[in-house]
Structure 1
Amino acid sequence: MTTDTAALSDTTNKPLQVVFLHLDLGIGGAEQLVLQLAHASASPHVGHEVHLVTTRCDPTHCFASVQPGGDLHDALHVKGQWIPADLCGYARAFCSTLRVLYLSFWIARRWPDVDLIVVDVLPTPLPFLRYLSHAALLFYCHFPDQLLVRQPSASGRVSQNHRALALAKHYYRQLLNAVEELSMRHADLCVVNSCFTQQTVRNTFPSSFPEPNPLPVLYPALDGAPSIVDLISSSSNKKKNLIVSLNRYERKKNLDLLIRAAAWLRQHNQPMPEAVANQTEQTHFEIVIAGGYDVRNVENVEYRAELEQLANQLNVPVTFLQSIDDGTRASLLAHALCVVYTPTGEHFGIVPLEAMYVGTPVVAVDDGGPKETIRHGVTGFLCQPTPADFGQALQTLLNDPEHAERMGRAGREHVRDTF
């Protein structure tokens, strides 16, 4: 324990001044986590003085708590908007580094006596904050940043200029990777969001986080706001054919898997004898894909268009919703027959936890964080990322809504008792 953290531990009985540094407060799991931590720290029974510092928070593309009139809006400080997010589509990581460094200098000047600074996503500001501030430093690692970078695809013959550019990009990325690891060492405490991320961090940075050095897992919390809690009792009024996906419009989220699974289901679904006897029609279902969407994000725009085209090609009716509000999100979670979660290698995944909390079973990929949250066959299904595997899981739930209800009740108990 450093002098700073030792001093912090001696003041736990009095309110602290806590600053959260986050690059971009949009709509996503990382942003949701930061806001929940800030909200909990500022709650009356804790009473810390909380500030949120970011370079961007679009009122039309952020969570309600930081919108005008929200609980945390007065604690929000948006600085450094003048620093570009990229340079003509390039050097995004470099620009992100400049943006968080600017925030770190601004924080040090604005609150010279701050007690705790919480940094997430990018650890780059940690060495500067260590030098500029006496605050204790907590780094919340969602996933190693270098593993989130898309590797260029291999190609055949390339020109000499392209080889030189590729070599320059390689060394540029290697430098950023080294900075990432060195920066993480300056935190007084690093925590991760799942056991999956914990092992990935240890494998990526073996010299910095060797066994058995502590690297605590701090699971993201659930939102206990009335809009969620009130829907628990109403979740019994489920639509027995509503299938919901909640995720950002990004290709890595693999949302097209749900559309392909629905197409498989339409071709192969055979209702159970009980469904035939009850004259229930389970070959018809309603799919809603909702998620974070920013018109300034090229991938969001392109991928949504690709999904719509795929749905039309496969003749699968899908309702697409963009950047929905908290009430709509809560209602979809509570009233769906099931929630489908399609990413592979997801670091944690808050959506499955939210769905189970309101009594809705989850169909997800058998990989990453969902393996830690979903009990296969009890609170949902863990599947291989294929249309047939997902389609069979959906077929089971559609043909036997009572089984889905039992899974939902088990999921609610599982989340309540475990998380």
Structure 2
Amino acid sequence: MVRVVFLHPDLGIGGAERLVVDAAVALQSRGCHVQIWTAHYDPTHCFSETLDPDLPVVCVGDWLPRSVCGYFHALCAYLRMIYVALYLLLFSHEEFDVVFCDQVSACIPVLRLARHRKKVLFYCHFPDQLLTTRRSLLKRCYRAPLDWLEETTTGMADRVLVNSRFTAGVFRQTFPRLQGVHTDVLYPSLNPVSFDTPITEGLDGLIPEGRSLVFLSINRYERKKDLPLALHSLASLWERLGEGGFWEKVHLVMAGGYDSRVVENVEHYKELRALCRSLGVEAHLTFVRSFSDTQKVSLLRRSVCVLYTPANEHFGIVPVEAMYCCCPVIGVNSGGPLESVAHGETGFLCPPTPESFSAAMEQFVREPRLKQKMGQAGRERVIKCFSQQAFTEQLNRHIVSLTQ
């Protein structure tokens, strides 16, 4: 039996966490012994699979700060993951063959200290250094050693996987010293069980009566996700449709991961509420924070289309989830959605402007059969290209090869 330990910095409900949980469940289905180690885990803010006692989650180091006076988030994340790795090696009696780590590569040198050297697989969602800005000299000086450390420690992994061809290209551009490191693409998948089971939780109070044309935005409340684009697109659709008629049937649900501990989540939620008021679309909009898995599936089944607003997204699991639920996608024509969404077949890929998005939205409003046609094509595409079976087979092959 192959023993695999997952190391992840914060086991919340984002896309990276979804992949880690799916990877753990996939390897379990192939007979691997799996544990997830993390610096933060909240049973009330997690994916349902992690509540299963057969998928152990070990949380250590949550007492370490996530930031210092609102700054040094990256440094604190590195230190927290290094602590988790040290604790695993020095204070636990857990035996393992392979470590699957993602997001933070700084812990890889620590794993090299194991008595019998263990294999390390690093999954690169996207280079960490590209997820922040460097507007000031002080910020550039702070990030320089962290960027060097990220590149150096990533190169120490025994195998590197990326989530898309887009990310593979960015990886080569960002890490010039790692040109000799081979990266394999492992597309995220979804667990069909949670999407195929009967829904027991409704959408009471989320969608006003009579609103049959529901658009859905799913993303964390972070500024880089460009959620204002969805609001401006809704306002632009209002201008296209005019008062009454179709417009009275339109509603947007903005659902997303929200953590009250994260300052940006709190601030950006308030910013979006203010923007909603200024655009005058409050009556046609519902905000949902930290929804449940069953709520998400209900929303995807109920909606005519998903608005996916991030530009240059690394991959983006939401379009895949939407298409599996027969819900078409309107996304930005860059990054991972170029590989997941088939333009004109399973949705539309548009420039990130309200005019382009609202024009695509109008097609779903005026052509009722478009949702069913594109929705069915989307489900077929997911089954063919992003199935759990394909994901499981590829990941298991990588794990087994590392142990031989």
Q: TM-score, normalised by structure 2?
A: 0.88
Q: 2:130 aligns with which of 147, 161, 170?
A: 147
Question: What pairs with 1:157-196 in structure 2 (closer than 5 Å)?
Answer: 166-196=136-166
Q: Distance in 2 between matches of 1:395 and 1:270?
A: 12
Q: Which residue of 2 aligns with 1:130?
A: 112
Question: What pairs with 1:247-396 in structure 2 (closer than 5 Å)?
Answer: 247-269=219-241, 281=246, 284-316=249-281, 317-396=284-363
Secondary structure, counterpart of 1:296 in structure 2? coil
CA-atom RMSD in angstroms? 1.9
Q: Distance in 2 between matches of 1:126 and 1:103?
A: 11
Q: What CA deviation, in whole Å up to 9, does each residue of 1:200-243 have, x standing for no partner? A: 00011122134xx5310000111222x301469xxxxxx74010
Q: Which residue of 1 aligns with 2:213?
A: 241
Relative to 1, partners in 2 of residues 1:96 and 1:376: Cα closer, same or farther, differing over 3 Å?
same
Q: Which residue of 1 aligns with 2:385?
A: 418
User: How far apart are residue 336 of structure 1 and its match?
Assistant: 0.7
Structure 1, 127-136 or 244-253: larger mean CA deviation: 127-136
User: How far apart are residue 339 of structure 1 and its match?
Assistant: 0.6
User: How far apart are residue 181 of structure 1 and its match?
Assistant: 0.7
* Maintained 8 Å contact 1:231/1:330: no
Q: Which residue of 2 aligns with 1:102?
A: 83
Q: Distance in 2 between matches of 1:398 and 1:384?
A: 20
Q: Distance in 2 between matches of 1:349 and 1:324?
A: 18
Secondary structure, counterpart of 1:60 in structure 2? coil
* Maintained 8 Å contact 1:126/1:183: yes
User: How far apart are residue 284 of structure 1 and its match?
Assistant: 3.0
Q: Which residue of 1 aligns with 2:393?
A: none
The one-letter amino acid paired with 2:265 is N
The one-letter amino acid paired with 2:217 is S
Q: Distance in 1 between matches of 2:216 and 2:140?
A: 40
* Maintained 8 Å contact 1:51/1:77: yes
User: How far apart are residue 298 of structure 1 and its match?
Assistant: 1.3
Q: Distance in 1 between matches of 2:179 and 2:314?
A: 18
* Maintained 8 Å contact 1:54/1:77: yes
Q: Which residue of 2 aligns with 1:87?
A: 68
User: How far apart are residue 59 of structure 1 and its match?
Assistant: 2.3
Could you tell me which runs of 5 or more consecutive residues in structure 1 were left unpaired when the two chains were aligned. 1-14, 153-165, 233-238, 272-278
Q: Which residue of 2 aligns with 1:33?
A: 19
Q: Distance in 2 between matches of 1:98 and 1:206?
A: 25
Relative to 1, partners in 2 of residues 1:367 and 1:72: Cα closer, same or farther, differing over 3 Å?
farther
* Maintained 8 Å contact 1:198/1:217: yes
Q: 1:222 aligns with which of 190, 209, 216?
A: 190
User: How far apart are residue 283 of structure 1 and its match?
Assistant: 5.3
Q: What CA deviation, in whole Å up to 9, does each residue of 1:237-292 have, x standing for no partner? A: xx740101111011111111111111111111279xxxxxxx97355301100011
Q: What CA deviation, in whole Å up to 9, does each residue of 1:18-68 have, x standing for no partner? A: 10000011110000100111111123xx121111111111223222222xx
* Maintained 8 Å contact 1:266/1:283: no
Q: May I ask how many residue pairs the two structures share in their alignment? A: 371
Q: 2:7 aligns with which of 7, 12, 21?
A: 21
The one-letter amino acid paired with 1:99 is R
The one-letter amino acid paired with 1:318 is L
Higher alpha-carbon Rg: 1
Q: Distance in 2 between matches of 1:309 and 1:265?
A: 19
* Maintained 8 Å contact 2:246/2:365: no
Could you tell me which runs of 5 or more consecutive residues in structure 2 were left unpaired when the two chains were aligned. 200-210, 387-404
Q: Which residue of 1 aligns with 2:43?
A: 59
* Maintained 8 Å contact 1:17/1:48: yes
Q: Which residue of 2 aligns with 1:200?
A: 170
Q: What CA deviation, in whole Å up to 9, does each residue of 1:54-99 have, x standing for no partner? A: 1111223222222xxx225751111012211111112222211111
The one-letter amino acid paired with 1:223 is N
Q: Percent identity?
A: 43
Q: Distance in 2 between matches of 1:307 and 1:185?
A: 39
Secondary structure, counterpart of 1:221 in structure 2? coil
The one-letter amino acid paired with 2:232 is R
Q: Which residue of 1 aligns with 2:102?
A: 120
Q: Which residue of 2 aligns with 1:274?
A: none
Secondary structure, counterpart of 2:323 in structure 1? helix
Q: Which residue of 2 aligns with 1:7?
A: none
Q: Distance in 2 between matches of 1:290 and 1:314?
A: 19
Q: 2:368 aligns with which of 401, 408, 415?
A: 401
Relative to 1, partners in 2 of residues 1:40 and 1:202: Cα closer, same or farther, differing over 3 Å?
same
User: How far apart are residue 194 of structure 1 and its match?
Assistant: 0.5
* Maintained 8 Å contact 2:49/2:55: no
The one-letter amino acid paired with 2:13 is I
Q: What CA deviation, in whole Å up to 9, does each residue of 1:306-338 have, x standing for no partner? A: 111111121212100010010001111122100
Q: Distance in 2 between matches of 1:169 and 1:305?
A: 26
Q: Distance in 2 between matches of 1:350 and 1:63?
A: 14
